[in-house]
Structure 1
């Protein structure tokens, strides 16, 4: 199963039997079997009909549209199963502040641990990187130690934000100067690395929402507002 990324302007997408066909004017440019597609990511202006969306939905493929100057993602999900009992349990747990905080601590703790592990791996590449990344690694370790004591999600979001700021600042030491990366920015991203990050986060978000639907849960009812 694959992601189809379409960024050529002026194309027309048509449903052709069991395939997605691409036309430039009246010229057929190529086809992709619908059974192979898990998601279609569209960037730029093109034409497609409701029948195309219907065919994609029938085959369980969703659509991600990156629209406008800021490339704000719009998700169109296929018709997936809904489990009423699971959603009732989800809604009840979403009202339990203690449960939500425990879940959120686990997610944020895992995220910060992964960030620290990646920086530690980079620090072994050279003595220069070891020196430059020593302080960021120490900061992430301190943040990780404070997560368990966070009294509420507001404090947890503050810790998550502090870790992210230090993590992305440290990545500037690792990446080539030619990428002009000086930290995380978006809407729109100001450099190539941030553009790749934004696209990657968009596709990851789409997949997470899709999996939530597949398990019969509601992606609009969460346990930790602001998790990224």
Structure 2
């Protein structure tokens, strides 16, 4: 198992990356600004416009170093991957499993159940720690709805009906999400989820972190031999890592809790964002650095995994879930153990 902790983030929009021997070199205005040995790097996330040299992209593909390009606003653009070296038999089993209606339904129910449990746990924790957030009983009503929808999931068999329950739950959740802010409430108000592009500060942070976390999950899936583009809950779409998006449902509450912490502790503020003429809101350079630092610190936290019962850095949890999914597909375990955060 390879560590997912040594991620290099390129936040300077005018930086250009090149290869020098076994080193990655960052150039600014044609001059070397920094260099690092590739042996110390697990993955590279680029938010720079000039991009990377073909030699560096080829080297990263050869060494299986993840290389992902996202826009400064956090929108996924592309991933560089090399020759597929995963287990072809596992990928064949993956397609067969995801094509089986009964097993597909079981997995979708499993993933959505984890998402609703994690969401409900987040709301219950906020209500317990900050009773004032439950003004008029909004949080309590949402908590009850999520509990009821968990029961409905077990009664439905059609994927579209399951997606409908998930959609209703997500809307109810984001309708109350901004009441969880105890500081900077005016600046970080949220009227609903907006994605492409994000139209407020909160959505900008959520989209940015969702993209980074999904990329980590896609890399983990590839490393255990699964195809991250063949999913089951998210429909197939060219260029979208659908399976990574599926597993991301288990990690969303982790991202959302981090966003709440950064806002309520005033780690990020309104000055860390830029509003575009189009109305889109992006994290600026300082804001991205703050969010990335907080995310890396979160990944380094050691907690007990609910299934393995072993302590591990949160940054390795995508690997754990990818391995468990592979074991389920191979028939080594009867049920995929979803990830529920305490």
What TM-score comes out, normalization by structure 2 length?
A: 0.62
Residue 142 (structure 2) aligned to one of 136, 149, 172: 136
Which residue does 2:218 correspond to in 1?
209
Q: CA deviation at 1:183?
A: 2.4
Count residues with an aligned counterpart. Answer: 228
Unaligned runs of 5+ in 1: none
Q: CA deviation at 1:123?
A: 0.3
Contact 2:73 2:204 in 1 (8 A): no
Q: Distance in 1 between matches of 2:51 and 2:226?
A: 32
Q: Distance in 2 between matches of 1:35 and 1:43?
A: 22
Which residue does 2:158 correspond to in 1?
152
Correspondence 1:15-26 to 2 at 5 A: 15-26=19-30
Distance 1:35 1:192, change over 3 A: farther
Contact 1:4 1:41 in 2 (8 A): yes
SS in 2 for 1:161: helix
Q: CA deviation at 1:33?
A: 2.4
Which residue does 1:107 correspond to in 2?
111
Alignment root-mean-square deviation, CA: 2.1
Residue 229 (structure 2) aligned to one of 213, 220, 228: 220
Contact 1:72 1:187 in 2 (8 A): no
Correspondence 1:59-74 to 2 at 5 A: 59-67=63-71, 71-74=75-78
Distance 1:210 1:136, change over 3 A: same
SS in 2 for 1:10: coil
What TM-score comes out, normalization by structure 1 length?
A: 0.90
Unaligned runs of 5+ in 2: 236-245, 250-342
Higher strand share: 1
Which residue does 1:196 correspond to in 2?
205
Residue 77 (structure 1) aligned to one of 81, 86, 110: 81
Q: Distance in 2 between matches of 1:88 and 1:107?
A: 21
Larger Rg: 1
Contact 2:6 2:41 in 1 (8 A): yes
Report the more deviating stretch, 64-73 or 207-216: 64-73
Distance 1:55 1:70, change over 3 A: closer
